[in-house]
Chain A
Amino acid sequence: MIAIIRYNAGNIKSVQNALTRLGYKSIITDDPKALNSADKVIFPGVGEASTAMQYLTKRGLDQTIRSLKQPVLGICLGLQLMCRFSEEADTECLGIFDTDVKLFPPVDKIPHMGWNNFLTMRGELFKGISPDDDVYYVHSYYAEISSSTSATCDYILPFSAAMNRENFYATQFHPEKSAEIGEKILRNFLEL
């Protein structure tokens, strides 16, 4: 069973729809027991960092997420919340990835919205994916490149398109909205 973390962020249903299309059963839950016993956990999100972190902390989900042992996939805000710190409302985040989240400098249109390809990529999530493949992004903040960065993308500056440390994976783009390429990446995660 795949567990999708329920919290005060949007876009959770889209992730479940994508899993259903791929033939996977999933539950949307904030129950630590259900999260701990799931085969895989997805940490999605569209929203604002500080209100999301407050919600997670109040329910003890911050501890639950950090201690998960099975493969975990953060998406968009999920990736940002898995970093150390976000400039969005100066938010202390989960600290799973050793990097910070910053606002794009205002030299081009923000948010970075639309289809963009990769500069670099490595790891299981990108099996069968080419750097020329495009995926869908919507974000104003980005995770700086660090040792946990597993893929990079260029918009205004190079940033972390995906991250990975041990069992924790995350994408800044939305695989659930990225047509067949996104489905391939989701399937790669589900087959880990």
Chain B
Amino acid sequence: MLKRRIIPCLDIKDGRTVKGVNFINLVDAGDPVELAKAYAGQGADELVFLDITATIENRKTLASLVERIASEINIPFTVGGGTDTIEDVAALLNAGADKVTVNSAAVKRPELISELAAQFGNQCIVIAIDTKFTDDEWIVFVNGGRTPTPLRTLSWAKRAEELGAGEILLTSMNNDGTKSGFSIDITNEVSTCQYSRYCFRWRRFDGAFQGGILQHRMQRGSGGKHFSLRGDRYKGSEKVSYEREYICTDVKPL
């Protein structure tokens, strides 16, 4: 039986992990390699690293960070941020990433998805979509959530799938970093596309995509996943610690 996945996601800026709320107010959250090791040790199924600054200089830093992660951890991981050419993707895969995310560049030139899928196989091409509920509709944003596009999220996800995206990594900008859970409505809509896999938690999704700095422990096995999330929430500058227990019993075959 194929299992649901728990996937911690680390936002990277200048080689450090950062944590924001609704994509702003970033605070330092530690060394990505140390965090990656901790997550892998606690039973995470995969990891995602997104370089949210994504300039040309940072891309080289990112490749060397990927090499460090690849040598330390024993689970699959996805890397992205500013990846807009076949060469960018090849560099990250060669450095040891299992999958690469593409976001703004695919919106700008959707054929890029087909080109990447043909070159590397669709299993390693993840299309990242940042979405925000705007004027009664879920709209796609690019450039790290700074620029709205005319694209509706559901139709863009379907198009990306048709072009060869192996997975879709959907982030709700309304919910990001607010500790209020996932946007179930848009995630549910997107996950009705037939073949792609989506990095989200809840009934019909294949994976949980957990951002932020959380410490969790999980057990792999046939009976489901039991895990707890502990972390620090920021209220302005005041830090509030919290802990929640989850039992994920939704492990029916996909």
Contact = CB atoms under 8 A, between A and B. Distances in A.
B102 to A, nearest CB: 17
Q: Is the interface of A mostly helix, strand, loop or mixed?
A: mixed
Interface residues of A, number: 40
Contacts of B122: 111
B51 interface: no
B196 A177 contact: no
A68 interface: no
Interface in B121-152: 121-124
A14 B70 contact: yes
B180 interface: no
Contacts of B2: 112, 114-116, 155
A111 B123 contact: yes
Contacts of B24: none
B45 A115 contact: yes
A136 B195 contact: no
Contacts of A113: 123, 166-167, 197
B74 to A, nearest CB: 5
Given A14-B96, A177-B75, A114 B45 contact: yes
Interface stretch (A17-25, A35-43, A54-62, A142-150): A17-25
B98 interface: yes
B176 interface: no
A53 interface: no
B205 to A, nearest CB: 12
A1 interface: no
B221 interface: yes
B235 to A, nearest CB: 36
* Main SS class of interface, B: loop
Interface in A131-168: 132-134, 136, 138-140, 154-155
Contacts of A105: none
Given A108-B254, A114-B206, A115-B45, A10 B74 contact: no
Interface string B29-61: 000000000001001010000000000000000
Contacts of A21: 71, 74
B5 to A, nearest CB: 6
Interface of A: 10-11, 13-14, 17-18, 20-21, 46-48, 106, 108-117, 132-134, 136, 138-140, 154-155, 174, 176-183
Which 8 residue pairs are nearest across A and B when measured between Cβ atoms?
A: A132-B222, A115-B3, A177-B76, A138-B123, A17-B71, A111-B123, A116-B2, A109-B195
15 contacts: A13-B94, A14-B96, A17-B71, A106-B195, A113-B123, A114-B2, A114-B207, A116-B3, A117-B222, A132-B222, A136-B75, A139-B123, A140-B123, A155-B2, A178-B75
Given A17-B96, A114-B5, A179-B220, 9 more contacts: A10-B124, A13-B96, A48-B121, A113-B123, A114-B206, A134-B220, A138-B76, A140-B123, A182-B74
